[in-house]
Amino acid sequence: MPLTERPTDMDGLRAVIETASARPGWTPPAAFGIGIATRAADGTVLDTWFGSVNLGQNLGSAALLGAALEVDGTTGTHALSRDVLAQLTEVFDPALADDGEHANARLVAVLATANPEAPLLPVERTPVVTFISDLTAAPVDAHDVYLRLHLLSHRLVVPHGVNLDGAFGLLANVVWTNHGPCDVPSFAMARARLRARGVTVNVTSVDKFPRMTDYVVPTGVRVADADRVRLGAHLAEGTTVMHEGFVNFNAGTLGNAMVEGRISAGVVVAAESDLGGGASIMGTLSGGGKEVISVGEGCLIGANAGIGISLGDGCVVEAGLYVTGGTVVSLPDGTTTKARELSGRPGLLFRRNSLTGAVEVLPRQGEWGALNADLHKN
């Protein structure tokens, strides 16, 4: 084990970090996380919770982890044995003794001293560290995907800030319960055994993605129904997601926003915008294909309305109107065009003429469609 020195003060710890960082073959990762992985009996990774997430920071901790495990910093996940955790805790001792945050050191100490109870479900839980050397490359396994989803929900990256190509194929379909995740084939008998013991198992969903709030609770947000926000959602400070609001992974808000409708995968909503009840924004997993749909600042999409085009700043879509790229709209000069030609333009009002049924687009004027400032006081 390379970590043979036991520093007694912060200067000594810095010296150990310097040695570990200069180790031949060591390459600092672009991101790394320390957490606990859950595996089914057949080895399938069901989830990985990262209690500490790092993006281009705390690379001294990464170097110590790499040295203790005798690995480089390239993409991969490594189990943290009790021996490794104990040795790392001794090395981190000076950091643990001072008043600094030192999130990685403190999490290592927690994992080293934990005495977890046996899981009620037929799974195995293992402390791990995951390194990602290149966030622009596609993820390689489920641990990799989970770390990227954590980066999004911790707001360390914005939607589309990391490569998630192929993520669906790397994740297992999981039974999410109040006792943690379980693989689908094992669940029926596992529930029978627990029921026989008088233990109730509540299933919240059967899906590849868990609830965000079971892994990350960002500051400065309100989430009325946690079931409707997936891990990998990016909720900026000041965002409110009401009971019927939904935010998918790799999607979300960039500032104060009121979400009473659906933000589909890949969609980005800017600050001071409202998505009314029942409204929907077409995502990259549906008819939107590869096009990234975005909503500018100060926009209002009315109740039960929807868009399949991007909105520039200060746009309004009236309640009940769905505007897709192929929707034919009438312009103020009497000509018509397809809505995709207006995608991303600011200051537009989309409405349906109640007499003719034609979809019209006009310059937004006055207070029509003005936002309720009280809704953005998070």
Catalytic positions are 260
Structure tokens at 371: 């936002």
Can you give 18-67 as a three-state secondary structure string?
A: HHHHCCCCCCCCCEEEEEEEEEECCCCEEEEEEEEEEECCCHHHHHHHHH
> CA-CA distance, 352 to 358, in Å (whole number)?
6
Residue showing tokens 């509540």: 202
**Three-class secondary structure of residue 321 per DSSP:** coil
Picking from 202, 171, 173, 199, the residue whose alpha carbon sits closest to that of residue 186 is 173
Which residues 6+ apart lie within 8 Å of 219 measured at CB?
237
CA distances from residue 367 to 57, 271, 316, 372, 377 in whole angstroms, order as listed: 45, 18, 11, 11, 20
> CA-CA distance, 318 to 307, in Å (whole number)?
11
User: What are the respective helix, strand and coil percentages of the chain, to the nearest 5?
Assistant: 25, 25, 50
